[in-house]
Every structure is written in structure tokens, then in C-alpha cells.
């Protein structure tokens, strides 16, 4: 779970950046490594070649001093070269690892081989300066058959040396003095101080590596910037727009004027939001019942409903005296106010027919809520006489079985109600005087006693009904009582 979260919080830009940085680090790192490696190997081969060369020269010098039997001159030459310093150190070792010229061992052998005292043994032998040669296994490799020059790194006294054990052969011309029982006499041990070179190399590699690193960072930053501007910001803007739309705000637009995929996506989203807005606007013209029936299926059902009809009294003559815009403004204000009250009381606007509102209430307390809505509408309309140009409404309410279902063609249909209760409510509405609310007896019977001030019963003749119907009037003040006729008190 945690992992998912970290991943998500990395974000698109972060992830792309990560890949970019990784690619750069790997690629440039590889280049830096190759660079360092080639630098090192170039330096090594130069140092090794120099060492080999110098040891060759020393070898030939020693050989040529030795041949005329001038071993002491060779020894002096050797120690003088060794004392030259300047980064080079020099040693000469027998093949058993003892330092040459350090004791009388060789002198004694030579004297024995030539059968006379060729060299005077030294009275005081030079104390061996060290414990003999270091790195015995390398000495053994250098003096094995076939022998080879062995190069290696050596650290001493804070300095780094490249060191070589260069084998010396017991040549046929040496055998007269040194005997024929061995092939290798020993090694020249030569070392070059490469501390400075190494330091310079390290600095170069470090500098170029940090250069590469800086380049990686700069490139990553530039690419990150670019990605942000080109991809991430537009995507975030689209996301915000979608959030707004989810919250019911259809006014936003993504502002990406580009010819690429993101631009295409933005204009698609803009078009989609525009389409959604239009459809949302359309839902205002469709009853809640229609919309919910779309979700829950559109089968026709027989149900009990309370119908509420309102109608503006004298509207026809009003239209003859006023301009079209004024008429619509007043009518819309009137319808809007009524619709708000009806919805507030849990009713559903079924339709507006001209200046008429048809609303449906469902549920056990549908009659109560319908009557509540009716009395609120009457109060609101009379309180807002200025707003509505003193127009008033008549209201009819009826309760009974209706058939509810989709009515219309396959292209245009409404989810609406049909039945006697609908007709009765319509007739009651037509009968009502301005500001009057008429109820059928079914509605009145379902109201708790005393909930509303009810006057009646009255008998009224309704269009399409043979018998006179029982009708009640909801008064504005508590009922005055008495048996009266509804409508024209006919």
C-alpha cells in the first residue's frame, strides 16, 4: 500500500525524470568510466615502457661492466644511479632475494670458480638494508623459466610507485665466473614514483566525472522543465477541469492551443465538457421522474400519487396587454418560484404547460406535502405581488391511482402520469379562483385533521363528470365552516 502511495506521489514528471536521469547517469557514467579506464591504461603503458627501457639500459651497463671483470665498478655505478633520486629507486637482488653486493657470498663463489682470489672479500660487509626483497611470489614469477619482467604497484612512505622486477640472465659469458648451474642470476628492482601522475589523474577523472554529473543534472532539469510545460501542466489543467465538472461547474475550459496530441486531448475534453453542459441544461426541462426512470427502468406501473396543478389566472388577457419580453420575464419568475417551492416540498415537476405547472407527489405523506406546497405557493405569490404584476394562481390538488410510464415516440418521450386523478386535479385547478386552492375529497381524507384550514365539503360540477363532485377549499385562515359551493359557488 505504502509502495503504491510513494509511486503515485512521484508523479508523471518525476517518473519520466527518473528514467531520464537514470539513462544519463548510466550513459554518461559509462563514458566517464571508459575515459578514466583509458586514461589509466595509457598512463600505465607509458610508465611500464619507460621502466622496461630504463631497466634494459641498466642491464646492459651492468653486463658490460661485469664482462671485463669490473664488478666493483658495476657496484659503484649501481649505487650512484640508485642515489640519483628524482623519483627513481633502484635495487639489485640475487635470485634467492638477498640484496646483491651486500656480503661476500658471490665473491667467494667467483673466486672458487676461477680457482684463485679474483676479488678480495670485503672486510666489513654492508649490512643488508632490508629483510631482502619484498613480494617474494613476484620475484619467483620474474625468475621462473621463461623469466619475465614483472610490473606492480608499490606504496611506501606515502608515495605510490610503479615497480618492476627485471630478470638478469646467467649468460654463457658469465658462466666462467658464476658457474653453469643456474639460468637466472637475479633481478634488477626499479621503481618510478607515480604519485604525482596518479594525483593528476585522479583530479582529471574527478573533474570530468563531476562535469558529467553536472551535465546530467542540467539536462535532467531542462528535460524536466520541458516535460512540465509540454505534458504535465496541460494534464493537470485537464484534471482540474474534470474535477470542476464533477462538482457541477461546467464553465471552465482548458487553454491549450497546440497542434500535438495534448492539444488534441484538450480540445476533445473541452468539447466533452461543452456537451455535458448542454445535457445538464437539458435536464432542467425534463422531470426528475423522467431522469430517475432512465436509471431505474421505464416499465409502466399503476401507483397512487397526489397531483398538483397550478395555473395563472387571467394570463391570457395579461398577454394581450404586455410586451413579449415582459410576459416571459414575469411568467418565468412565477414558474421558477413555484418550481422551487414544489421541489422544496419533495414534489417532482412533471411539466410546464404554458402558464400551468403540473407536479407529482409520491409517498404516504404526498397529500400533506402537496397541500403544504400549495399554501406556500399562494403565500409567495400574494407576497410578491410587485414581482408578478399582481398576477395570481389557482391551484387544484387530487389524489388517486395513476398509470406512470413513458409516453411519446421513440425519439421524444416523457415519463408522465395518466388517470382520473390527473383529470380531476386539472379540473379543480381550472375551477379555482385567483388565490384559491381546491382539493378533492380523497386528498382531504388523507390529511391529518387540523393540519390545514379546510372549508367544505362543497359540491361542484366538474367537466367530464356526470355527478357533482365533493370539493374542499383550503382557506388562508382557520375554516369558517358552513356548506358552500366551490368555484363560482355554483
Partner 1 sequence: MKRDGSASNCGMLLACAAALFIASYAASCAAPPRPTLVPDGYRSWSLTTNVRLDYPIPGHEDRYRVIQMNEKGFTFTRAEGPSGRVDFPEGTIIAKDIFPTSNPGPTDLPVMLTAMIKAPSDPDARGGWLWVIKDLSSGMETLQKGDFCVRCHANANEAHPYGSKNPGGAFSDYVFFVPGRQSAASSTGAY
Which residue from 137, 146, 448, 464 is in contact with partner 1, where contact means CB under 8 A? 146
Kindly list the distances between the CA atom of residue 178 and the CA atoms of 106, 169, 170, 182, 241, in Å, as whole numbers in the listed order. Answer: 8, 11, 8, 9, 99
Which residue from 112, 176, 226, 451 is in contact with partner 1, where contact means CB under 8 A? 176
Count the residues of the shown chain that bind partner 1, applying the rule CB under 8 A.
25
DSSP H or E stretch at residue 89: strand 88-94
**DSSP symbol at 144:** S
* Residue 25 interface partner, choices partner 1, ligand HEC, none, CB cut-off 5-8 Å depending on type: none
Which residue from 50, 111, 183, 470 is in contact with partner 1, where contact means CB under 8 A? 183
* Residue 182 interface partner, choices partner 1, ligand HEC, none, CB cut-off 5-8 Å depending on type: partner 1
Backbone dihedral region for residue 85 (phi beyond 0: left; psi -120 to 50: alpha; all else: beta): left
Which residue from 23, 130, 204, 268 is in contact with partner 1, where contact means CB under 8 A? 23
The answer to whether 148 contacts partner 1 (rule: CB under 8 A) is: yes
DSSP H or E stretch at residue 437: strand 437-440
Closer residue to ligand HEC in complex, CB, 183/208: 183
Bridge-based pairing state of the strands 356-361 and 413-418: unpaired
Which residue from 7, 10, 11, 26 is in contact with partner 1, where contact means CB under 8 A? 26
Are 160 and 151 in contact by the 8 Å Cβ rule? The answer is no
Shortest separation between residue 147's beta carbon and ligand HEC, angstroms: 9
* Secondary structure (3-state) at 267: helix
* Residue 404 interface partner, choices partner 1, ligand HEC, none, CB cut-off 5-8 Å depending on type: none
Shortest separation between residue 306's beta carbon and partner 1, angstroms: 58
Which residue from 27, 211, 408, 478 is in contact with partner 1, where contact means CB under 8 A? 27
Closer residue to ligand HEC in complex, CB, 3/172: 172
Of the CA atoms within 13 Å of residue 212, those in its CB half-sphere come to 21
Instruction: Tell me which residues in 205-234 interact with partner 1 (CB under 8 A).
Output: none
Residue ranges of E strands in 176-250? 184-193
Instruction: Tell me which residues in 332-361 interact with partner 1 (CB under 8 A).
Output: none
Are 32 and 208 in contact by the 8 Å Cβ rule? The answer is yes
The three cell numbers of residue 268 are 476533445
Contacting positions for partner 1 (CB under 8 A): 12, 15-16, 19-20, 22-23, 26-27, 30, 146-148, 169-176, 180-183
Amino acid at each position: 500500500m505504502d509502495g503504491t502511495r510513494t509511486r503515485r506521489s512521484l508523479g508523471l514528471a518525476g517518473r519520466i525524470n527518473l528514467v531520464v536521469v537514470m539513462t544519463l547517469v548510466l550513459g554518461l557514467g559509462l563514458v566517464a568510466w571508459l575515459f578514466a579506464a583509458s586514461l589509466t591504461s595509457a598512463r600505465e603503458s607509458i610508465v611500464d615502457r619507460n621502466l622496461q627501457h630504463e631497466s634494459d639500459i641498466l642491464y646492459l651497463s651492468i653486463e658490460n661492466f661485469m664482462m671485463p671483470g669490473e664488478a666493483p665498478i658495476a657496484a659503484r655505478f649501481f649505487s650512484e644511479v640508485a642515489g640519483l633520486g628524482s623519483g627513481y629507486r633502484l635495487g639489485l637482488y640475487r635470485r634467492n632475494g638477498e640484496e646483491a653486493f651486500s656480503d661476500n657470498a658471490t665473491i667467494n663463489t667467483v673466486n672458487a670458480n676461477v680457482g684463485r682470489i679474483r676479488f678480495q672479500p670485503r672486510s666489513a660487509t654492508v649490512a643488508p638494508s632490508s629483510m631482502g626483497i619484498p613480494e617474494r611470489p613476484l620475484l619467483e614469477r620474474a625468475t621462473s623459466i621463461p623469466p619475465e619482467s614483472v610490473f606492480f604497484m608499490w606504496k611506501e612512505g606515502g608515495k605510490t610507485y610503479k615497480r618492476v622486477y627485471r630478470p638478469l640472465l646467467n649468460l654463457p659469458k658469465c658462466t666462467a665466473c658464476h658457474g653453469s648451474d643456474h639460468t637466472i642470476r637475479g633481478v634488477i628492482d626499479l621503481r618510478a614514483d607515480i604519485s604525482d601522475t596518479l594525483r593528476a589523474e585522479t583530479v582529471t577523472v574527478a573533474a570530468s566525472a563531476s562535469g558529467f554529473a553536472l551535465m546530467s543534472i542540467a539536462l535532467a532539469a531542462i528535460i524536466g522543465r520541458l516535460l512540465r510545460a509540454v505534458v504535465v501542466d496541460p494534464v493537470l489543467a485537464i484534471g482540474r477541469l474534470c474535477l470542476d465538472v464533477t462538482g457541477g461547474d461546467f464553465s471552465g475550459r482548458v487553454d491549450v492551443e497546440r497542434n500535438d496530441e495534448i492539444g488534441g486531448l484538450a480540445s476533445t475534453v473541452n468539447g466533452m465538457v461543452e456537451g455535458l453542459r448542454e445535457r445538464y441544461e437539458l435536464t432542467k426541462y425534463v422531470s426528475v421522474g423522467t431522469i430517475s426512470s432512465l436509471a431505474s427502468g421505464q416499465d409502466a406501473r399503476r401507483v397512487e400519487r397526489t397531483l398538483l396543478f397550478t395555473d395563472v389566472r387571467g394570463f391570457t388577457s395579461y398577454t394581450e396587454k404586455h410586451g413579449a419580453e415582459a410576459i416571459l420575464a414575469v411568467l418565468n419568475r412565477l414558474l421558477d418560484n413555484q418550481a422551487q417551492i414544489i421541489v422544496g416540498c419533495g414534489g417532482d415537476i412533471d411539466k410546464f404547460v404554458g402558464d400551468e405547472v403540473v407536479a407529482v407527489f409520491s409517498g404516504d405523506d404526498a397529500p400533506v406535502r402537496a397541500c403544504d406546497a400549495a399554501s406556500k405557493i399562494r403565500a409567495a405569490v400574494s407576497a410578491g405581488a410587485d414581482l408578478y404584476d399582481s398576477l395570481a394562481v389557482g391551484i387544484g390538488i387530487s389524489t388517486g391511482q395513476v398509470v406512470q410510464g413513458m409516453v411519446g415516440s421513440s425519439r421524444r418521450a416523457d415519463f408522465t402520469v395518466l388517470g382520473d386523478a390527473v383529470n380531476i386535479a386539472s379540473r379543480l385547478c381550472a375551477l379555482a379562483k385567483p388565490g384559491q386552492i381546491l382539493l378533492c375529497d380523497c386528498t382531504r381524507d388523507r390529511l391529518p385533521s387540523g393540519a390545514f384550514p379546510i372549508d367544505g365539503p362543497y359540491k361542484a360540477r366538474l367537466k367530464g363528470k356526470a355527478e357533482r363532485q365533493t370539493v374542499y377549499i383550503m382557506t388562508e385562515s382557520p375554516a369558517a365552516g358552513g356548506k358552500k359551493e366551490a368555484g363560482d359557488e355554483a
